[in-house]
Amino acid sequence: MVIIDIDLPGGDEGTVIITNLTGKPLFSTKIFDSGHYEFDPEMKPGLYIITFINGIKRTSRKIIAE
């Protein structure tokens, strides 16, 4: 399970993308509100990158799935 807290400015929307280390997208979803989100993508143990894209801002974090 992946848990993300997102703070969006009013009226904005964004996209959450989970990729493996080679860049292959495994999961993608649109976000329309700020809040606490829980996703359950089918991920094997390993390293992944979560990217949040909002307008011109792009934020990425590495995660370890166990």
Q: What is the mean pLDDT of each run of 10 residues along the chain (66 residues)?
A: 82 89 92 88 89 88 89
Write down the pLDDT at residue 9: 74
Cβ contacts of residue 36 below 8 Å, gap of 6+?
3, 4, 5
Write down the pLDDT at residue 66: 83
Write down the pLDDT at residue 19: 94
pTM metric for this prediction: 0.83
Token pair belonging to 39 = 């996703």
Class of domain 2-65: mainly beta
Write down the pLDDT at residue 6: 86
Write down the pLDDT at residue 43: 84
Gap between the Cα atoms of 63 and 50, Å rounded: 7
